[in-house]
Amino acid sequence: MILIAGGAGYIGSHVNKLLAKLGHETVVFDNLVYGHREFVRWGSFFHGDLKDKEQIRRCFREYPIKAVMHFSAFAYVGESVADPAKYYRNNVVNTLNLLDVMREFGVKYFIFSSTCAVYGVPEQIPIAEDHPRRPVNPYGKGKLMVEEILEDYDRAYGIKHVNLRYFNAAGADPEGEIGEMHDPETHLIPLAISAALGLLDEVRIFGTDYPTKDGTCIRDYIHVCDLADAHIKALQYLLSSGKSDSFNLGNGNGHSVKEIVEIIRRISKRDFRVVEAERRPGDPPSLISSYKKAGDLLKWSPQYQDIEAIIGTAWEWHVGRISGSASAPGHEAKP
């Protein structure tokens, strides 16, 4: 059985669905602070918090857990700058709690939801796994701390791990069962879709003076279902090779904020107000991945490579959610 910590969230729920589809037994461990109970449609559910070791132990006693996938992290870069204590406590200390309980129960396999933020401002594009790791915000620093802890836990305790360094997760389940629903919402694509749907008065662009082609940040968008597929392949790699490793997960190409906004206008056939605002602290100008290593070792490659197709699945999910229930949880997106 696979424990999915944070499996009621955006990426974890998509991984849970794919694992179930492939015949794996799963248990989602989530405190539902940011996750959604209605997203846990597969496997078992254990309502618990990683800050409480006894709750984690009860879950391990109740279920025959053989591997852990860890998604339970706060992920707002700006908030991490304003309140680093919150991020280090949740993203680092609580991860230690989970790892220590794994040691107690002899569980040796760990898939870690990491981030391209561990690289900081890139020295070269595209970014490969051997790029220096110099994060520029507490969110990225906390993820790097966990990666380094995992190296030590591998050497000392034999816990094998794979770090999956996401670039910008996007899109939604093409079957329309789950999608991206944060509160507060800070991600560009769902915010712009909400503006197109009339749920927001405007969408803000943070910074138009970056050294990029149109002055706005450039990001590498990877479909959430491709991320889910990479987690399954990472688990298979870990079980078969017994080797710890790190992999970038992205599409290998970048799109600016302004380009994303225009694509959403085109897909939605609706106009909406765009406001230019100051830069946010901790935002590098450009982040584009190389996923060659994941291709070589995990035999993984993104199936959704067209940005319009990625955004199209997000648009369909948001439209379906609103038309299905005007009072659905999280209906009102927040800037």
Apex 34 CA angle, 307 and 270, nearest 5: 35
CA distances (Å), origin 16, targets 2, 177, 190, 270: 9, 12, 22, 34
Contact 318, 194 (CB under 8 A): yes
Q: Check 109, 139, 166, 237 and give the catalytic one.
A: 139
Hunting for tokens 């769902």 — which residue is that? 190
CA dist 217 and 64 (Å) reads: 45
CA dist 124 and 261 (Å) reads: 26
CA dist 217 and 175 (Å) reads: 31
Q: What is the DSSP letter of 111?
A: E
157 is catalytic: no
Q: Which helix (H) or strand (E) segment is 268 a member of? A: helix 257-268
Contact 267, 188 (CB under 8 A): no
Q: What is the DSSP letter of 294?
A: I
Q: Which helix (H) or strand (E) segment is 247 a member of? A: strand 245-249
CA dist 63 and 183 (Å) reads: 30
Q: What is the DSSP letter of 198?
A: T
Contact 94, 66 (CB under 8 A): no
Total Cβ atoms within 10 A of residue 17? 23
The CA-based diameter of the chain, rounded to the nearest angstrom, is: 56
Positions marked catalytic: 139
